[in-house]
Amino acid sequence: MCRWLAYHGPDIRLSTLLHDPEHSLLEQSKHATQSAWVVNGDGVGVGWYGDDPDPGQYRETRAAWNDENVKSIARHTRSGLFMAHVRAVTQGVVSRTNTHPFLMGDWLFQHNGDVGGYKAIQRRLESKLIDPWFGDRQGQTDSESLFALALTHGLRDDPVAGITGMIRTVLELRDEVGITDPFLMCIAATGGDGLWCARFAQGAPAPSLYWGRGLGLHNRDGSCTQLAETATIVVSEPLDAEQLTWHEVPDSSIVRVDRDGVLVHPIEGIR
């Protein structure tokens, strides 16, 4: 499975999370500890918001540890809202268009997991998508289709309804076809203001997901970076070994992060 992180808070250098911590995202691309996929070398991507209302985006098919460009961008870019992803392919070929995070309109989205039996429901799922989201997809992954489906269900105006509607539709289509392969999902989405994440699975344990707020991160050089009290990170696995500071997101939950704090609540209306 892939590994990702998302950040919401005061502006920081992207490298503060992508590179500096002892178990940074770039380190996880080589040595993930909470996934059957230890190596995530099928691409790396970053999306961030700055002075322009449209987010910046960088995606590359090289392994994160072998991409000098992402390291340079991370050192020289500051943002108060960004996400980053290292990919291990489950659906779709290795290509830039299939690399997370995905961008549609002014929203960013990334996914760790797999829609089991996706090919069997792909045509049915695509028939549910409305314009412009149907045509805005550039790649062939189940992940990008989940993004378009969430937007179809109103992600921009009501993120909870968009995420819940997306999950419900996937489950209904899987039932129609009789798919029993696992549906695994940890997602992050943002339109430049709040951050929305979700953890869900059917047929197997959900991929790992954690959050932390106001953390003091242990770095690879032995130093510690103290983040602001309002700085929140959501990650596939912790960025350091200080377990007590990280909170596991329960299965079948949505996480909302905004200026008021962090709210974790169960996904409702899903059997």
What CA–CA distances, in Å, run from 188 to 60, 80, 111, 181, 219? 19, 15, 7, 23, 25
* Start-to-end C-alpha separation, the chain: 25
CB atoms within 10 A of CB 38: 11
Per residue in 64-103, pLDDT (tens digit) is 999 999 999 999 999 999 999 998 877 667 889 999 999 9
CB atoms within 10 A of CB 229: 11
With both helix axes pointing from N to C terminus, report the angle between 118-128 and 142-152 in degrees, rounded to the nearest 10. Answer: 30
Q: What is the pLDDT of residue 149?
A: 98
Nearest to 100 by CA among 89, 76, 152: 89
Which pLDDT band holds residue 154 (cuts at 50, 70, 90)? Answer: very high
The label of the residue with tokens 């503060």 reads 16
Mean per-residue pLDDT, 18-22: 96
Mean per-residue pLDDT, 41-54: 92
Per residue in 162-217, pLDDT (tens digit) is 999 999 999 999 999 999 999 999 999 999 999 999 999 999 999 999 999 999 99
SS3 157: coil
Percentage of the chain beyond pLDDT 90 is: 86
Mean per-residue pLDDT, 124-148: 95
Q: What is the pLDDT of residue 91?
A: 67
Return d(Cα 227, Cα 212) in angstroms, integer. 10
Please report the domains of the chain, with CATH numbers, ordered by start residue: 3-266 (3.60.20.10)
Which pLDDT band holds residue 37 (cuts at 50, 70, 90)? Answer: low
**Contact of 112 with 4, CB cutoff 8 Å:** yes
**H/E element, 111:** strand 107-115
Omega within 30 of 0 (cis) for the link into 250: no
Per residue in 3-17, pLDDT (tens digit) is 999 999 999 999 999
Q: What is the pLDDT of residue 31?
A: 87
With both helix axes pointing from N to C terminus, report the angle between 142-152 and 159-177 in degrees, rounded to the nearest 10. Answer: 120
Mean per-residue pLDDT, 249-261: 97
